[in-house]
Amino acid sequence: MTLVQLLPLLLFSLGGGAIADAFDRRKVLVATQLALGATSLALVLLTLQESPSLPLLFIVAFGASGLAAIDWPARSSATPRLVPPERLRAALALGQLSYNGSSVLGPILAGVLIGAVGVPGAFGVDVLTYAASLAMILRIRPIPPHGDARRAGLEAIREGLRFVRNRRLILSTFAIDLNAMIFGMPTALFPVLALDVFQVGAVGLGLLTAAPAAGAFGAIILSGAVSRVRRIGRGIVLAVAAWGAAIVGFGLSTFFFPLALLFLALAGAADVVSAVFRSSVVQMEAPDELRGRVGAIHILVVTSGPRVGDIEAALVASVVGAQLSVISGGLLCLLGVVAVVRAFPELDAHVVPAAGVHAPDAAASGRRSRRISGQPPPPDLEDPEPPA
């Protein structure tokens, strides 16, 4: 199932980013919510059967993941159009609050629903949540592409890839995230750690899994200072270094399970701070007409890194054991931070202007070109409508 859900993300994310840049992003989100709601309805119908077809379940999962590959770039690239630049990081922090909150509460709610109304009933509630999401999206004003947006296609995808390749600051955020996820992501080892090392059983495994999300949730609740940080490049570096150090601490804490959970929570808190800073760099360094495609590449990095990290952790554990795999991964993450900073010095030096984050969007460039040419600005650039 993990493979079935990962493949469409890898195959369709770049195309989804091109679609987000070529069409009204609100319309794209409306379409994806309707289609994703239909996949949940299909799961209701499948699970009403006494013996649901496994191939059909895989097909529905593949389709839902493919739709998510279109939904996520449109969603992430819409945010900078809905909030002023100086509030972007606060908006991204709220997005992380939603994501990590659902990571903690979603499985709990699912278990309660399955116990109360069964699997079909739980998926039925999921259909209703898409209706609520759709109602909220319809309250947002239209988010049409700018006039010079390229039509979706292979050339549009290549244009996005060329842009990222030439923007070293954006590349540096991808590199430091891959470093953290490939070397310092011990999730695949949680079962063996819970059963054989900590000897805390299934309940302990659940606590290990929930601890990073709980730490991230707590960090976001207390994240008011994030929007006031100007040296966000150094903030990324320090946050990823804190992640690696916390993973080392987790690996060294096999003698006391609560301390190990604390280190995992600290790692989750550091990770979410890094995520907010990295997302703000990606969003604000990309012009609006390319934001969907750049966001799609960002999604590929965020999606693939943890999977590669699972493979790395398992391979190392098969040679030196689970505990040493965790500790060595955290140490390699710290060394990787040093390597990324040396390879991309612009990351540590990146500072947000005092007046707020500058967004190099097409609207601003259109105003500049019209001032130079003497052409009057169109009405939507002359008197922009406030965000909904």
252-284 per-position pLDDT tens digit:
998 899 999 999 999 999 988 888 888 888 888
Task: From residue 36, give the alpha-carbon distance in Å to each of 23, 111, 298.
Answer: 19, 21, 22
Query: Would you identify the CATH topology of the domain 2-141+156-349?
Result: Growth Hormone; Chain: A; (1.20.1250)
Q: Is the pTM of this model over 0.75?
A: no
The residue assigned the tokens 């600290």 is 266
166-220 per-position pLDDT tens digit:
889 999 999 999 999 989 888 889 889 988 888 888 888 888 888 888 888 777 7
Quick check: 293 and 73 in contact, CB under 8 A?
yes
3-state secondary structure of 184: coil
In the numeric block, which tokens belong to residue 218?
A: 């707590």
Q: What average pLDDT does the chain have?
A: 82
Residue 371's pLDDT band, with cuts at 50, 70 and 90, is very low
User: What's the pLDDT at 224?
Assistant: 64
User: What's the pLDDT at 225?
Assistant: 65
* Predicted confidence (pLDDT) at residue 96 exceeds the cutoff of 80: no
CB atoms under 10 Å from CB of 302, counted, come to 18
Question: Which tops the pLDDT comparison, 62 or 224?
Answer: 62
Domains of the chain by residue range: 2-141+156-349
User: What's the pLDDT at 360?
Assistant: 45
What is the share, in percent, of the chain residues with pLDDT greater than 70? 87
Q: How far apart are the C-alpha atoms of 240 and 232, rounded to whole Å?
A: 12
User: What's the pLDDT at 289?
Assistant: 80
Quick check: 174 and 301 in contact, CB under 8 A?
yes
Does the CA dihedral 204-208-211-213 come out positive or negative?
negative
User: What's the pLDDT at 297?
Assistant: 86
Q: How far apart are the C-alpha atoms of 226 and 14, rounded to whole Å?
A: 30
CA 69 to chain centre: 12
Quick check: 219 and 344 in contact, CB under 8 A?
no
Quick check: 236 and 277 in contact, CB under 8 A?
yes
Q: How far apart are the C-alpha atoms of 96 and 185, rounded to whole Å?
A: 19
Does the CA dihedral 151-63-177-92 come out positive or negative?
positive
Least confident of 21-30, 228-237, 349-358: 349-358
Q: How far apart are the C-alpha atoms of 15 and 80, rounded to whole Å?
A: 20
* Predicted confidence (pLDDT) at residue 379 exceeds the cutoff of 80: no
Amino acid code (one letter) for 78: A
